[in-house]
Amino acid sequence: MSSIVIYFSRNGENYFGGQLKNIEKGNTEVIAEYIKDLTGAELFKVEPASAYPEDYVECIDVAKKEQQNGARPELKETLDDISAYDTIYIGFPNWWGTLPMPMFTQLEQLDFTGKVVKPFVTHEGSGFGSSQRDLKKLCEGAEIKKGLSVPGANVYDAKDTVSNWIDE
Ligand SMILES: Cc1cc2nc3c(=O)[nH]c(=O)nc-3n(C[C@H](O)[C@H](O)[C@H](O)COP(=O)(O)O)c2cc1C
């Protein structure tokens, strides 16, 4: 059985329990790497062709507009075949209540028929928001398993939680 982690994660300035902090590695990426360590899954990082601003306030503004416009930002590289994998882990930060728009660009390209999808999110308080509903549409034909939601500030303490969730 082989698996892949398809994820989006942004480094740069981010907000942690009331403070702005610059991070080298995005929170979601930390979880994605645990999954790789624990399962041997491959990693595929979804990256927009034009990067989001490092500045947090600018970034949330750009992201909000994209969502309002139903944008499908162009990607640096697109994954176009997941036929080799049984289990697809899908990870993302909660952006304005759902997945960042580049994840829509990517996931709409893929055929999820017969796949097992395990979604995970990092967030600053709102968990999955409405992303699980969006995932149902984006991953039509997949069996979507229980998701894992981790507050961004806790990702470095979450390896055991991730391990238990993988085994569920
Ligand atoms: C553009 C943007 C929008 C966000 N919107 C939300 C939100 O609606 N709810 C929430 O709980 N956190 C929100 N956050 C916080 C992120 O979900 C959280 O910091 C996450 O862990 C970031 O993951 P990353 O470092 O992998 O990109 C937002 C962050 C950004 C940059």
pLDDT tens string 22-75: 888 999 999 999 999 999 999 999 999 999 998 899 999 999 999 999 999 999
> If you measure from the C-alpha of residue 90 to the centroid of ligand 1, how many angstroms do you get, rounded to a whole number?
16
Position 105 scores a pLDDT of 98
Q: Residue 52 gets which letter from DSSP?
A: P
Q: What residues does each domain of the chain span?
A: 3-167
| CB-based contact 32:91 (threshold 8 Å) | yes
> If you measure from the C-alpha of residue 20 to the centroid of ligand 1, how many angstroms do you get, rounded to a whole number?
12
What is the CB-side half-sphere exposure of residue 46 using CA atoms within 13 A? 28
Position 126 scores a pLDDT of 96
Spatial CB neighbours of 69, under 8 Å, sequence gap ≥ 6: none
The number of the ligand 1 atom at minimal distance from the alpha carbon of 124 is 11
> If you measure from the C-alpha of residue 50 to the centroid of ligand 1, how many angstroms do you get, rounded to a whole number?
19
For residues 113 and 91, what is the distance between their CA atoms, to the nearest angstrom?
19
At the topology level, CATH places domain 3-167 in Rossmann fold (3.40.50)
Tell whether ligand 1 has an atom less than 6 A from the beta carbon of residue 111: no
pLDDT tens string 140-164: 999 999 999 999 999 999 999 999 9
